[in-house]
Structure 1
Amino acid sequence: MQKRIAVIGGGIIGATAAFYLGYLDQTQSLSVTLFDDDLGQATKAASGIISPWLSKRRNKRWYTLAKEGASFYRKLVTDANLGTNVYQQTGTIVTRKDPNDLDSLFQEAEIKLRHTPAMRSVALLSSQDVGKRLPFLTNPPAGILVEGGAKIDGLRFVEALLDQAQKRHVEISRQRVFFDESGKLRTSKGLESFDKIIIATGAWMKGTLKPLNYLVKVRPQKGQLIDLTIKSKHYGSHLPVLMPESSSDIIPFEHDKLVVGATHENDGGFDLKPTSEARNRLLTNAKAFDQHLQMDQIDRVRVGTRAYTDDFAPFFGHLPDNPNILLGGGLGSSGLTTGPLIGYFLARAVVEGQLGVWDKYTKPISHYII
């Protein structure tokens, strides 16, 4: 008899977990259903960067998870047959305002490169060099090019993984489900029992686990991005990403689309309305590097809700007293880098029937869920 598996949440963790549950379950001993209602999902609103190596963050667990998460994309792209419209390794350019800080960062990059093959290579670029690589900019900054850096379209990523999951007999159910006090799920079919459940509901996890009397220490954070149309012979999807210090990332995509963002609004809660303040701030940030950008080039403002923990670190594992309910969350702004690896780990734990040793990536789950 097949074991019934539920995945709650179709964002970056849930979609990756659902795909790998189908991919790894070669004997088809599992019956997998993913439940998701799409509301406010951070992944689908995001376009992001996979380039964690020169981050200012000094959390060793986070860096280990992010570093291995960036490397994991090579396997994921192959396993899920992801196209360049989803994930593209075009390199990232990281900047620092102070030239001395930039030199120090380059020395750090050279050291990390020795034991981080995913970085591929690094180069110190003058502002003129950056201008050659991003010729549509009118005021390019000096920076460090990391050849292994990549960009990803969150919506296309999730859609591609769920499409592949369905081909591997994973059912996608577009609805919000709730626990009852006994641990069963209340669905459109009534109360249903599952052998194992993966919870990946992001900023909504507190509400997901409330019926089971757990307190989840996560908070919502509103993030907004803008999409602009760039009509220039110097523009193209092959261009690297610009990651300016203390400013908004600038991400060139195909079809003349430029993405700028994202905001980090701690008081935005679950509000999904775009704001003129965020739109104006993002455009101003981008105009510091391309003075030709205008308000009428903005096609849309995208809005999503991230989940943050008090120590800004992701978590994953199983409920303290229930190994059959696994979960991952608290991704914050690094979700596109860390989320897929977490989803993979959780799927493997279900398929292989045993939990991994994850203490080098995350604190005990009891630090975040009580």
Structure 2
Amino acid sequence: MQKRIAIIGGGIVGATAAYYLSTLPGAQHLKVTLYDDGNGQASKAAAGIISPWLSKRRNQQWYRLAKDGADLYPQLVHDAQLGTEVYQQTGTIVTRAALPDLEALDALAQERQKTAPTMGTVQQLTAQEVQAKLPLLTNPQAGVFLSGGAKVDGGALVDALLTQASHKNLTVRRERVKLDQDENVVTSLGAQRFDRVIIAAGAWLPELLVPLHVRTDVRAQKGQLIELAVKDYPLQENLPVLMPEGERDFVPFGHGKLIVGATHEDDKHFDLSLDAAVTADLLASAQRLMSGLTDQNITGVRVGTRAYTSDFAPFFGPLPEHDRFLVASGLGSSGLTTGPQIGRLLAGSALYGGTPDWRNYEKPLATYLTSSLA
């Protein structure tokens, strides 16, 4: 007997869940339908750096989730046969202007490497050595290089995972859906009943859960980044990514494409319009690292909507008092790092059931989800 599973949201969590629901043992007995209209999706707009190991966040649950998410990527990339245009482990450089800060960063890296072998080698670099690894820079700072760091194109990753799942048991519906108080998914074809529903709708989760009388601690945040055409160095696709102190992230891809960003705009919420002032600010950040850039180098602007919680931590798991539903949200700017691990865990729970214990990764769901009837 086929089991019917719906996924609401086709970003990094939903796409990864769909992929695993097409490959895990027992997937042949599933019929999976994913709903997403694509409007404002954070993952589609994102180009991310997979390098969580030097984060100064005190939330150890988040760090374990992010570390395990980074660890999952090589296996996911291998199993899904993803190309270097999607994901590439090229190393990460994190810079500091002051020598004491650089020494402290290096010490942190050496300590965390003991429990995170995926970090690869750790190397302290002078400004000249940073420039040698990343010749696009004309104003380099000294930094710490982690060979295990990687870059990922969020849109390409989501598309690749959904395409593979669609060859097996996934149907993608490009539409926006709702829930009703009877726990149905309300689609353009009417109310549909599913055995399990994974809701991975990011910042749109609060409005989806209103019919179920659930309040959600999630807010929307606008993010923008720019694409630049730069000199195409030989083997540019192998250049490391840069997390510069005081500036926007610097992510070189192949064929002379450089991505700079992203912003964190709390007051813009679901606004997807391009903002010339923000574009100019992103360009100015790039210019402080690389001279000679002008607005003529800008080839595109990406805009998306992230989901954040009050404590900046993600949450995921079974929706209290609604056993057929699994939810995930609040991934923020680390969504491309934590999202695949969350999607994999939710897929396993949707397929096999049970009561998973994810306390190692998150606070109790009651921290973020409360009844609106109370």
Common fold by TM > 0.5: yes
Structure 1 residue 26: Cα displacement: 3.7
* CA–CA distance in structure 2, aligned partners of residues 313 and 131 of structure 1: 34
Range 25-34 or range 171-180, more displaced? 25-34
* CA–CA distance in structure 2, aligned partners of residues 165 and 234 of structure 1: 35
* CA–CA distance in structure 1, aligned partners of residues 341 and 31 of structure 2: 22
> What is the letter of the counterpart of residue 2 of structure 2?
Q
| Counterpart for residue 73 of structure 2 | 73
- Identify unmatched segments of 5+ residues in structure 1: none
* CA–CA distance in structure 1, aligned partners of residues 140 and 61 of structure 2: 34
| Counterpart for residue 240 of structure 2 | 240
| Counterpart for residue 52 of structure 1 | 52
| Counterpart for residue 203 of structure 1 | 203
Superposition pairs for residues 144-163 of structure 1, below 5 Å?
144-163=144-163
Q: SS of the counterpart of 1:327?
A: strand
* CA–CA distance in structure 2, aligned partners of residues 124 and 198 of structure 1: 43
* CA–CA distance in structure 2, aligned partners of residues 235 and 134 of structure 1: 11
Give the TM-score of the pair, scaled to structure 1. Answer: 0.98
| Counterpart for residue 18 of structure 1 | 18
* CA–CA distance in structure 1, aligned partners of residues 115 and 355 of structure 2: 28
> What is the letter of the counterpart of residue 236 of structure 2?
G
* CA–CA distance in structure 2, aligned partners of residues 75 and 211 of structure 1: 39
* CA–CA distance in structure 2, aligned partners of residues 234 and 132 of structure 1: 13
| Counterpart for residue 36 of structure 2 | 36
Contact 1:48/1:153, CA 8 A, preserved across alignment: yes
* CA–CA distance in structure 1, aligned partners of residues 364 and 164 of structure 2: 32
Q: Which runs of 4+ in 1 moved over 6 A?
A: none
> What is the letter of the counterpart of residue 228 of structure 2?
L
Give the TM-score of the pair, scaled to structure 2. Answer: 0.97
User: Once the two structures are superposed, what CA deviation does each residue of 1:237-257 show, in whole Å capped at 9, x if it has no partner?
Assistant: 110001012320000001211
User: Once the two structures are superposed, what CA deviation does each residue of 1:177-231 show, in whole Å capped at 9, x if it has no partner?
Assistant: 1111111111122111001000000000011111111111100000000000012
* CA–CA distance in structure 2, aligned partners of residues 360 and 297 of structure 1: 45
| Counterpart for residue 140 of structure 1 | 140
Superposition pairs for residues 278-289 of structure 1, below 5 Å?
278-289=278-289
User: Once the two structures are superposed, what CA deviation does each residue of 1:315-361 show, in whole Å capped at 9, x if it has no partner?
Assistant: 00111112210011100000000001000000011222223210010
| Counterpart for residue 357 of structure 2 | 357
> What is the letter of the counterpart of residue 256 of structure 2?
D
| Counterpart for residue 273 of structure 2 | 273
* CA–CA distance in structure 2, aligned partners of residues 259 and 27 of structure 1: 37
RMSD: 1.1
Structure 1 residue 366: Cα displacement: 1.2
Contact 1:52/1:66, CA 8 A, preserved across alignment: yes
Contact 1:43/1:154, CA 8 A, preserved across alignment: yes
> What is the letter of the counterpart of residue 12 of structure 1?
I
| Counterpart for residue 330 of structure 1 | 330
* CA–CA distance in structure 1, aligned partners of residues 108 and 190 of structure 2: 56
Percent sequence identity over matched residues?
Answer: 53
Superposition pairs for residues 178-197 of structure 1, below 5 Å?
178-197=178-197
- Identify unmatched segments of 5+ residues in structure 2: none
